[in-house]
Chains A and B, each alone.
Chain A
């Protein structure tokens, strides 16, 4: 689920295309190690969910109880490339997130394991590899 193989032996190019996708998705790059084929990036986003807010409002109205709601999250991604054969390079990506509530407490720390999410990421990466390859031909 987290790994795809690309038909290229050029690990550096693939890493560059990956960095571009990570930027496309609004992440900021935290850490890189090109010899190890590693990129670590993160982004801070809104974590408010309608259902949770609705629940909190109902609790407040019915019982006068104050339920904390999630407000912000840090989404982290690490991406690693490694040669898988003489013509192929494997890319492995992992997403995780840290969520804080409105009282500034940690409310969730979790790895993200939705296959559709990873599929979508690799679709974008394929597109990026293609865009990058096209630019080189120009």
Chain B
């Protein structure tokens, strides 16, 4: 009789130990993909040198996508925004010059408590941004 009941928590234990992290501090530097791989699909290069216009367009695009801007810094070239829709989607977009003719746009996002590491949402964001800029963003080899 006792054996029959003991199996339940044991099963739960085994499942959990197999699937869970053992130390949540490892999350500090954790990424499922490599630094270079992540950069590749979170980054696009645009043929423009107009930083102000790029930043304004990024803010506009985020607003079109129902984000509310948390903070923007023109000097460093960063915009952070959050979308609340039954979930919290937080995104940070940064821009920096690449060579003399291009601007690199880099985005990263978290969905509630998970990082967004699937390429599709980033593609969609860059598509919307490209339309707004009337420019085609090029994939870069980080």
Chain A positions near chain B (C-beta within 8 angstroms): 15-16, 19-21, 23-32, 34-35, 39, 41, 43-51, 53-54, 57-58, 60-61, 70, 72-73, 75, 95, 97, 99, 112, 114, 117, 120-121, 124, 127-128, 131, 135-136, 138
Given contacts A26-B115, A46-B114, A120-B29, contact A58 B9 (CB under 8 A): yes
Whether B86 sits at the interface, judged by CB under 8 Å, is: no
Q: Which of A16, A50, A114 lies in contact with B21, CB distance below 8 A? A: A50
CB pair B20 A48 closer than 8 Å: yes
B92 interface residue (CB < 8 Å to A): yes
Of A16, A23, A43, A51, chain B has the most CB atoms within 10 Å of the CB of A23
Given contacts A23-B92, A43-B110, A46-B113, contact A54 B78 (CB under 8 A): no
Given A48-B21, A95-B28, A112-B25 in contact, is the A29-B78 Cβ separation under 8 Å? Answer: yes
- Specify which chain A residues have a CB less than 8 angstroms from the CB of B104 in the assembled complex: 135
Considering only residues 1-25 of chain B, those with a C-beta below 8 Å from chain A are 9, 12-13, 16-17, 20-25
Contact A49 B27 (CB under 8 A): no
Name the residue among B9, B17, B28, B96 with the largest chain A CB count within 10 angstroms.
B28
Q: Are B20 and A24 touching (Cβ within 8 A)?
A: no
| CB-CB under 8 A for A45 and B27, given A28-B80, A57-B9 | yes
